[in-house]
């Protein structure tokens, strides 16, 4: 960051810290730190793309992903980099989950997240350890191959995301784009960011929604209806 500041970032008038997946989580964790590096008159905001990882048990009732985060924090000694207002009240590994600290981020944040995040479906909700017979294999690789009971489980996972964003929805400076596509990161490709064929909510692409929010044109909180309601989605197939 010091190098970027020396190359001209310190003279910026507008700045947006963003990241995808693990980078999206990092953007949330370090958002306020980034704000503090720049002059007060700079318009600084943060965008997290597919970085809102859920602390949910898998389909076998095991907190697999929570245990994974615990191992990561212990292995990397990451506790010192996490938000202190979170680690002062919770075990440090729980502060890797945005639901535990997003309400304390002072800098404006925009969340881009699919309602059916295929990475989280495969690693949080249905890891291989929770599906030893492979009955979920086709579904978790291609949502169009899920049966009705499997879709109910995925919809409950989406509802859990929305419930954990209840408080954030009330934040007047926050923005969100929660689309019901089977995808993961969406801001790094033109096809999902801003193109004639991009996924849309209320006829808005992600780029248009982010622009509304960043430049304070209007409140930008877009939440899609459940799968398979959105015909603009191009669902990823990993088969």
Q: What is the pLDDT along the chain (239 residues), one digit of tens a residue?
A: 777 777 788 888 999 999 999 999 999 999 999 999 999 999 999 999 999 999 999 999 999 999 999 999 999 999 888 988 999 999 999 999 999 999 999 999 999 999 999 999 999 999 999 999 999 999 999 999 999 999 999 999 999 999 999 999 999 999 999 999 999 999 999 999 999 999 999 999 999 999 999 999 998 999 999 999 999 998 999 98
Question: With b meaning 16 or more CB within 10 Å and e meaning fewer, what string describes 126-147?
Answer: bbeebbeeeebeebbbbbeebe
Domain ranges of the chain: 1-59+102-223
List the catalytic residue out of 131, 184, 198, 235: 184
The rounded distance, in Å, linking the Cα atoms of 25 and 51 is 4
The rounded distance, in Å, linking the Cα atoms of 206 and 68 is 31
Burial of 121 (0-12, 13-18, 19+ CB in 10 A): buried
184 carries an active-site annotation: yes
160 carries an active-site annotation: no
List the catalytic residue out of 117, 198, 224, 235: 117
117 carries an active-site annotation: yes
**pTM of this prediction?**
0.95
187 cis-preceded (ω within 30 degrees of 0): no
Instruction: Report CA 43 to chain centroid distance, whole Å.
Output: 22
List the catalytic residue out of 21, 48, 180, 183: 21
């Amino acid at each position: 960051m010091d190098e970027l500041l020396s190359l001209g970032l310190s003279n910026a008038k507008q700045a947006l810290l963003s990241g995808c997946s693990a980078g999206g989580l990092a953007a949330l964790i370090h958002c306020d730190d980034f704000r503090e590096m720049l002059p007060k008159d700079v318009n600084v905001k943060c965008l997290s793309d597919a970085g809102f990882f859920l602390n949910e048990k898998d389909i076998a009732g095991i907190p697999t992903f929570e245990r994974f985060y615990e191992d990561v924090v212990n292995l990397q000694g990451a506790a010192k980099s996490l938000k202190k207002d979170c680690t002062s009240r919770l075990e440090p590994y729980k502060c890797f989950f945005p639901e535990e600290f997003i309400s304390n981020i002072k800098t404006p944040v925009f969340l881009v997240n699919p309602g059916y995040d295929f990475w989280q479906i495969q690693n949080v909700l249905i890891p291989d350890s929770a599906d030893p017979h492979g009955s979920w294999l086709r579904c978790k690789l291609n949502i169009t191959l899920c049966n009705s009971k499997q879709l109910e489980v995925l919809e409950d996972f989406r509802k859990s995301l929305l419930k954990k964003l209840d408080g954030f929805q009330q934040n007047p400076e926050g923005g969100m784009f929660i689309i019901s596509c089977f995808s993961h990161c969406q801001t790094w490709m033109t096809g999902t960011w801003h193109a004639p064929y991009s996924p849309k909510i209320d006829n808005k692409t992600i780029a248009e929604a982010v622009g509304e929010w960043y430049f304070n044109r209007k409140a930008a909180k877009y939440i899609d209806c459940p799968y398979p309601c959105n015909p603009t989605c191009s669902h990823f197939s990993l088969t």
